[in-house]
Chains A and B, each alone.
Chain A
Amino acid sequence: MSPRLGAKAIVAAAGIGAALLLGWLASSQGPLAPTKVTLAKVEQGPLVASTFGIGTVEARRSYAIGPTFASRVARVFVDQGDTVRAGQLLAELDPVDLVDRVSSGKFAAERASSTIRAAEAQLADAQSRAQLASASARRYAELRAQGFVSQEASDAKGHDADAAKAAVDAAAAQLAVSRRDRERALADVAGVGKLRAQARLVSPVDGVVSARLVEPGTTVVAGQAMLQLIDPASLWVKARIDQGQAGGVRVGQPAQIVLRSEPNRAYLGQVERVDLVSDAVTEERIVNVGFAARPEGIAVGELIEVTIRTAELSKVRSVPAAAVKRLARQDGVWQITDGRVAFRPVKFGITSLDGRSQILEGLNAGDEVVVHSERELTPGAKVRVVPAIVRAGS
């Protein structure tokens, strides 16, 4: 073997090697390389549509207890966490002069009673006088007819009788006034007594004190909350769900509730109310979810996550949600034909929380679609199918 041949062979081999290396680099590493993609088949099976929201634990019924008039707090008998019964005295306001006004009213009523007795006596007196005067007038009228007395004397007696009758009417009126006076005085007593009762704040329901907002000595205005009560049996969840995902939420749907304090445990519940008015600023729907069994030690205001199961489809075609793309205002998927991708418009239905999108029309079970891609795909782009673009665990 001549050294010339060997040299040529080596140079040629080196040249071919270099050309192959450059070709490999250009075609597999740089921007000219085909885009790596992964594929998935359209699957047929059940699909659960759910929606997710966050919210807080709230009491469905909470009671703010406060005065109906401005006053000063005298005593507060309960504290936060106390269990109270309906009708239990919770706090008392300083009655100031209310007690004195009740006594004063009572005295006025007593005085009115005395006045009534005096008026009754006067009436009796007037009636007696009237009887005497009318008898005397009758007698004079007879004597006058027989001509024993002058006409003048007879007229005077008639007048006396009329005056005595008028005195009876006056005494009767006086008696009625006195009776009214007494009734008024008694009504006053009752009214001030009611006001006095208003100064005693009692619980309207059986419940738990959730806040004690004032202490004795504080001046409060009418309508200000002094204590807050909640009905612990009415604790539920007020969840906010994005309007875009709240479409299928209905009363009675099952839900899972996760408390922030127990992130690994899901409590069961169900939708109890979907508010008619949705929040226009945050664009969220407010959904109330009740607990199937109320968790121990739950705090009002605690952050929760709610997952509501809105629909369960038994047999639908679906693809991974990552395969759903939008091109020229049309939803669809990328499919591979002869190593190049083409866009196929597809109508999609619901998307489940674990990332599967329902196919309404456009694809058949078993069709293959592009799921992940190394870069944005364009129609006609060259692609290479790989099992996974990112190695699991890397």
Chain B
Amino acid sequence: MINLAGRDILYGWGKFVFTGLGLGLLIGVTLSMAGIYRGLVDDGRVLLQNGGADLWVVQRDTLGPYAEPSSVRDDAYRGLLGIRGVAAAGNVTYLTMQIQHQRGEVRVMLVGFEPGHPGEPGYLVAGRPITRAHYEAIADLRSGLKLGERIRIRRHEYTVVGLTRRMVSSGGDPMIFVPLKDAQEVQFLRDNDALVNERARTAANPAFNRPGVPGLLEAVQASQASSHNVNVVMLRLAPGADEAVVAREIRRWKHLEAYTRADMDEILVAKLIATSAKQIFMFLVILSIVSAAIVAFIIYTMTLNKVREIAVLKLIGARNRTIAAMILQQALGLGAIGFIVGKTAATLWAPIFPKYVLLLPGDAVLGAILVLAISALASIVAIRAALRVDPATAIGG
């Protein structure tokens, strides 16, 4: 028994392969879109994993620090460390800003952290951790910065001493880690002109500039220029501690808000990135439907193009089963080629995307099953059409 499908493909292999390639690129785009959606969600989740925290303590009645601004005094951690079950606490600040480097500018999330405490990057892909208490930075690869490069952030120059990977904000901006005190200064200290203006404004205020009280003005001005706030205190709990109990203690006695990892996940995935994730997901659904339709139409038209050959087959007495098998095999082959090309293309072009594209093996398997199922479905329609072909068309047409 000869394989009619194989013979037919070999007969017109160029057409078959190029159709498969075209389909493959379309499937690749669909898989990439799934990857973009997964990446968007993963950007939010990875933000929570990076700090290694179990609890996030933020300003009361806020959804901080990612979804809303939050401000906590930087000595609040001392009280938090006293709560039973808390093993470690780290002050962290976040600030999204544009920074300049030698080859252009990049939008980053500036993270202030304390080395050795929750909030520090868990692993490096190059370089070393921060060892000086000031003016050193660890940058994410996505920022395009290199080891040893010097970047200017507001008032000071920082040296990039280490590089990380997948340290991004919920919006996908690469993170730059700097020591906490520097980050506090960046966040709260204004530029020189603003400082000078503010000093003049204070000096013009008779309440602060009284002739009989020398030194009052200087004291007031000094108090305006310093800040002791952070955005969040990250807590790591002792083994066996119940995070819900600790969070309740903090809410009740420290007058701060405490979120567990599950709460944060809810805030980030369900609130912060919900709309953009839904947007991408809707597009993914539409793209999937369109791809399915195109795959079906291509297989259908390919079969219709072979009406004459099918008629000849019928004329020489080929059985319906043989013809149906030929069409089904061709459709599945086309689907398989399309999937392989699509998966390869999606994998190869994923790293070029500016934001993270996460290609899950589960998605790939689901995609393969869908492609083959759609091919089979489309071929059924084509087979019905083929079986209705009048053998006479082979002679008459």
Residues of A within 8 A of B (CB): 3-4, 7-8, 10-11, 18, 21-22, 25-26, 29-32, 52-54, 219, 221, 223-225, 241-242, 244-245, 263, 281-282, 305, 320-322, 324-325, 328-329, 351-355, 371-377, 388-390, 393-394
Contact = CB atoms under 8 A, between A and B. Distances in A.
A259 to B, nearest CB: 14
A338 to B, nearest CB: 21
Contact of B212 (A53, A221, A353): A221
Given A241-B133, A353-B131, A390-B126, 5 more contacts: A21-B344, A244-B116, A355-B128, A355-B161, A374-B125
A390 B145 CA distance: 11
A104 B60 CA distance: 72
B125 A373 contact: yes
A218 B211 CA distance: 10
A322 B127 contact: yes
A388 B212 contact: no
Contact of B340 (A8, A21, A329, A389): A21
Interface of B: 2-3, 6-7, 10, 49, 75, 87, 116, 122-129, 131-135, 141, 146-147, 157, 161-163, 165-166, 181, 211-212, 214, 228, 239, 336-337, 340, 343-344, 347, 350, 358-361, 364
Dominant SS among interface residues on chain B: loop
A373 B123 contact: yes
Given A7-B6, A242-B133, A390-B141, A328 B125 contact: no
Given A305-B135, A321-B129, A322-B129, A10 B10 contact: yes
Contacts of B343: 22, 25
A191 B169 CA distance: 75
Given A25-B347, A221-B214, A329-B87, A322 B133 contact: no
Which of B6, B128, B181 has the most C-beta atoms of chain A within 10 angstroms of its own C-beta?
B128
A19 B214 CA distance: 84
Contact of B123 (A7, A8, A376): A376
Contacts, number: 115
B129 A224 contact: no
Contacts of A322: 124, 127-129, 162
Contact of A376 (B49, B162, B344, B359): B49
B10 to A, nearest CB: 5
A7 B124 contact: no
A225 B218 CA distance: 13
Contacts of A25: 343-344, 347
A376 B122 contact: yes
A281 B75 contact: yes
A224 B336 contact: no
Which of B116, B123, B358 has the most C-beta atoms of chain A within 10 angstroms of its own C-beta?
B123
A202 to B, nearest CB: 21
Contact of A29 (B132, B163, B337, B347): B347
Given A26-B361, A29-B347, A242-B133, A4 B123 contact: no
A32 B359 CA distance: 10
Contact of B131 (A10, A53, A354): A354
B123 A372 contact: yes
Contacts of A372: 123-126
Nearest to B182: A54
A31 B7 contact: no
B331 to A, nearest CB: 16
A305 B134 contact: yes
Contacts of A52: 131-134
Contacts of B10: 3, 7, 10
A175 to B, nearest CB: 50
Given A52-B132, A221-B212, A31 B361 contact: yes
A20 to B, nearest CB: 11
B239 A328 contact: yes
The 7 closest A-B CB pairs, nearest first, are: A355-B128, A52-B132, A389-B125, A224-B214, A242-B133, A390-B126, A322-B124
B107 to A, nearest CB: 21
Contacts of A30: 347, 359-361, 364
A161 B302 CA distance: 164
B123 A377 contact: yes
Given A25-B347, A281-B75, A372-B123, A354 B133 contact: no
Contacts of A263: 157
B140 to A, nearest CB: 11
A381 B256 CA distance: 38
A353 B166 contact: no
Contacts of A329: 87, 239
Nearest to B131: A353
A371 B128 CA distance: 9
B133 A245 contact: yes
Contacts of B359: 29-31
A309 to B, nearest CB: 14
Contacts of B6: 7-8, 11
A388 B133 contact: no
A41 to B, nearest CB: 16
A354 B128 contact: yes
Contact of B146 (A22, A389, A393): A393
B78 to A, nearest CB: 10
A393 to B, nearest CB: 7
B344 to A, nearest CB: 6
A54 B181 CA distance: 11
Contacts of A355: 127-129, 131, 161
A53 B129 contact: no
A321 B132 CA distance: 13
A143 to B, nearest CB: 83
Contacts of B181: 242, 282
21 contacts: A4-B2, A8-B6, A10-B10, A18-B336, A18-B337, A21-B340, A31-B358, A32-B361, A242-B181, A245-B133, A305-B135, A321-B129, A321-B131, A322-B124, A322-B128, A325-B122, A352-B131, A372-B123, A373-B125, A374-B165, A377-B123
Contacts of A10: 10
Given A225-B214, A281-B75, A390 B131 contact: no
Given A355-B161, A375-B166, A53 B228 contact: no
